[in-house]
Structures are given as structure tokens and as C-alpha cells.
Amino acid sequence: MDAATIDVAGIGNAIVDVISHADEALLASEGFAKGSMTLIDAARADALYARIGPAIESSGGSAGNTMAGIASLGGNGAYIGKVRDDLLGGVFRHDITAIGIRFETPPATEGPGTARCIVMVTKDGHRTMGTYLGACVGLGPEDVDPAIIAAAQITYLEGYLFDPPSAKAAFRKAAAIAHQAGRQVALSLSDSFCVGRYRDEFRELVMKDIDILFANEAEICSLYETDDFDQAAQAVRGHVSIAALTRSEAGSVILAAGAAHRIAPAPVARVVDTTGAGDLYASGALFGLTRGLPLPTCGAIGSLAAAEIISHVGARPEARLDQLVASAGLV
């Protein structure tokens, strides 16, 4: 096979985040489980927007955030996702291309507008999300450019892609092309409720098609229907080459052939907004893997990128991650 010319190709729901501070009472009255992502329709998105406080808008989307992190680390990436040809779509496109990610998926010229996610950040820094998928439902297999996937060392897929029906087909097409080209396929489980919605499919995928798995404690436990992290971690071994399991303040564990590496979290002066913590951990770990770094170093870069993202509002890096990594002596 040819040498990869792209480090990571990410496929995800292309979303602009609308981020506000909220109190727990609002979450309760809207029936949102704290820390989760709930799908909402356009009317509910409008009604929810009218209820939240002042907000800022920032490009988001799980894989979009991860790819922005890859670029900030100095990696070479491409993104596939669907926006509309509207103002928010222009914002999403600007932000991901301006950081250096190739993004050539054509925007939808009709139908629902660019997706938005209303992110409600509670005082403890945790985020709860209501997502209107909008134009994301238009993503399909035709949007997966085989040349990009075949050229990428790792194709990274977000679990949220199982929500819009035809994106799942795009997901499977990309995984097949990647493997045919001798590349690796990574998956993030995204959200424990998302895992609950597609548990059987995810389990089969993880077993058959995924080389590198990212999940937090709740997600991996949901996948294997257990309350016990160690049991879940045990269950995933053997199904994937690498499983990177994140545990918030407790850091992360990277499981690989016969080894389990415990990774300490990077220090954070104050947790402001946890949005994007998992996405940026994935950026760091994937970047490290594409550079052939040892797994503990991959995890440490992930921890550092996650620490940067939770120290401010928004899920895209404010600091240059390559400089942070160099300062920390990790590369």
C-alpha cells in the first residue's frame, strides 16, 4: 500500500454549538439527563434557545472538534460532514478550514439548515446538549470520497453518525474502504445514550470493524451493559487493537495487546466547560498514533489536549496544542 498522505480523516455530524451557562433546574424542566446529548427537532431547538441565557456560537461536532485538535497538534487531516449553504454552514466551514483541515463535502443547497447544538454548561463545568441535526441528515455514502479515506492513516468515526439514517451507510462505506486500503478505523462511542440506542450494532461493529476504540466510562459500561468498569474493560479486550478509555478526573486507560497503560490526567487550574474533553483526548491519542509514539505518550498528549479544552468555554482549542505538547516535552 502507498504511504498515507493524510494522518486522520474524520467523519461526523457538522454542527455549530450554541453555548450558554445554565442551572440544573433548566435541565430538569426540559427533561435532559445531565451530561447527555438529546436529539431535538427544529421547533424544540427554537423553544430551547428562547429559554437559555446569553450564548456564544462556536463550531463543534464531535469529530469536527477532534479534527481541529489534530490540526492544532500539527497533524494533517480531512473532514467529511454535511452543512447547508447558510450562515452557520459558512461558519463551520471557515473554522475547520482556517485551522488547516481539508473539508470538501459539498453543502446541501436545500432542506434543513446547518445543524446546531444547544450546549448548557452547569456551574460544575459539565455540559448537557440538545442537538438539532438539520442538514446532517443529508450526509450519505456519496459524500465519502474514497481517495481521501484510502489516503488516511486512520479513519475516525463518531458514534453520533448512527443518528442520521444515511450517515450510517457513509460510516460503513468509509470503514470498508479504509480496511481495503490497509488502513485503520477508529470509533468514538460518543454518548452512553447513543450507545443505548444502537447497542447491538455498535457491539458488532467493535467486534468486526474497529481497530481503535474511544469511550468514556459510561459509554463502555453501556456497551457491555455492566456497572463495573473493569468488567467492561475486560470485555472490550480482544475486540479491538487499542481501546482508549477515559475516566474524567481519574485520567484514562489504554488497553492494547497484553498491556494496560494508566494515563494520568493533565492538571487544569479550573474546569470551566467540559465540552469537547473526549473529542480532544481523541485528537491527542490519534495524533500520537500517527507519529508512531508509545501508547503512554499518545495518552499523555490526549490528556494535555483535553486539559486545554476544559479550561475555557467551547470545544475548539484556543491555544496552539503543538506548542503545549512541545513545552511538556512530549515530542
Which residues lie near its own copies (CB under 8 A)? Answer: 20-21, 49-50, 52-59, 68, 86-88, 91, 94-96, 98-99, 269, 312-314, 316, 318
Least Å from the CB of residue 34 to its own copies: 20
The candidate with the shortest Cα–Cα distance to 51, out of 62, 40, 60, is 40
Least Å from the CB of residue 291 to its own copies: 23
Cβ proximity to its own copies, 105 vs 114, nearer residue: 114
Cα(218)–Cα(49) distance, rounded to whole angstroms? 28
DSSP secondary structure of 115-183: EEEEEEE-TTS-EEEEEE-GGGGG--GGG--HHHHHHEEEEEEEGGGGSSHHHHHHHHHHHHHHHHTT-
Cα(16)–Cα(13) distance, rounded to whole angstroms? 10
Cβ proximity to its own copies, 133 vs 236, nearer residue: 133
Least Å from the CB of residue 269 to its own copies: 8
Cα(22)–Cα(41) distance, rounded to whole angstroms? 20
The C-alpha cell that represents 321 in the structure block: 496544542
Q: How far apart are the first and last CA of the chain?
A: 27
**Which residues on adjacent β-strands are paired with residue 38?**
130
Cβ proximity to its own copies, 118 vs 170, nearer residue: 118
Least Å from the CB of residue 98 to its own copies: 5
Instruction: Find the length of the chain.
Output: 331
What are the backbone angles phi and psi of residue 309, rounded to the nearest 5°?
Answer: -70, -30
Amino acid found at 199:
R
H or E element that contains 229: helix 229-236
Cβ proximity to its own copies, 88 vs 220, nearer residue: 88
Cα(309)–Cα(321) distance, rounded to whole angstroms? 10
Least Å from the CB of residue 53 to its own copies: 5
Cβ proximity to its own copies, 58 vs 222, nearer residue: 58
Least Å from the CB of residue 179 to its own copies: 32
DSSP secondary structure of 259-323: EEEEEPPPP-S-----TTHHHHHHHHHHHHHHTT--HHHHHHHHHHHHHHHHTSSSSS-SS-HHH
Least Å from the CB of residue 16 to its own copies: 9
The C-alpha cell that represents 129 in the structure block: 446538549
Least Å from the CB of residue 235 to its own copies: 38
